[in-house]
Amino acid sequence: MRSTALALAIALACTPLTALAQGAKVTSPVELAQRASELKPGEWVWAPEISPEGPVVVYVDLTRQVADIYRNGIRIGVSTVSTGKPGHETPTGVFKILQKDRNHHSSTYNNAPMPFQQRLTWDGVALHAGGLPGYPESHGCVHLPYNFAHELFGTTSMGGTVIVQGRAGAPVKIPAAGVLSPATVEGLPQGYQPLQSTYRWEEEEGAEGPLAVVISTSDQEMVVLRNGVEVGRSRVELPGPPSATMVATLTVDAQGAAHWSLVPLPGHHKDDTHAADATALSRLRMPHGMLTRLKREMAPGTHVLITHARVSAETTAVPITVLAANE
């Protein structure tokens, strides 16, 4: 009996604490919501069958220390996390998954294991399995429960979108009405009068990879990036009052209808006084050639960032981070 107890103690000592975190798999949105509201540090809930296909977006809420996982605009998982401690804060913004490594080891912190790593920046910020004390204690990465990190690793894809924000909100779903074409309140296409100006798109036909669009309401300019590299730029007009910064992800439902899944990013660029405007994309005007090209190139998973921050040639020189903010 003593030898058995000793063997068990040794096994537990050699097992990462993250592997002992509690998780639950459920099958309905109601049960998912109920379990998600009761999570304690190290716990998670997972229901991928609620939305089996479509683009995956990860929302990391630094305030709540929780990550919400959405597929095709529908929440399929929730997990507690631990993010950067004071002095090593996790950067906020909209990121693309740059690298996936199931058995990654840190080149900075004494070869420390970082299972199921999903890199967000080349300077060391990533999602991976790690300690979960119930408060921010990492050196900038987003720590996840071990088994949840394993599930998420098998669900996301290279180039997938990860949003890190102080207080992430649940997405609002609106009809896409032909992707970027104007729409009526009912979601039906309406008359469109394109801008009479030039645009630029420099990319070879057949290029592949995730597409991201950044629209600056301050500059009235749009920048299109693929795999973090600028491929297009155009003048745009977005009449009406400024909108709070928000991210719109293109999704397609089971009937094949396109929708925008919108989530506001409060606190960015001091725009707390502005409300998130769900009609912004339907009021957007651009040259006809740019609109035609975007409609042809956009696919489920493409995201559009609308911000009042300025854009310039320099802002697209840094790969990956589509939006970064320290506020």
Respond yes or no: is residue 128 known to be catalytic.
Answer: yes
Which of 154, 127, 155, 156 has its CA nearest to residue 142? 127
The values of phi and psi at residue 75, to 5°, are: -70, 130
Contacts of 6 (CB under 8 A, 6+ apart): none
Which of 203, 180, 188, 196 has its CA nearest to residue 306? 180
Write down the catalytic residue from 14, 88, 104, 128. Answer: 128
Which of 309, 213, 310, 325 has its CA nearest to residue 267? 325
Respond yes or no: is residue 14 known to be catalytic.
Answer: no
Write down the catalytic residue from 88, 105, 141, 288. Answer: 141
What is the number of residues in the chain?
327
Structure tokens at 232: 């297009």
For 150, the enclosing helix (H) or strand (E) is: helix 146-153
The values of phi and psi at residue 313, to 5°, are: -55, -35
**Residues labelled catalytic:** 128, 141
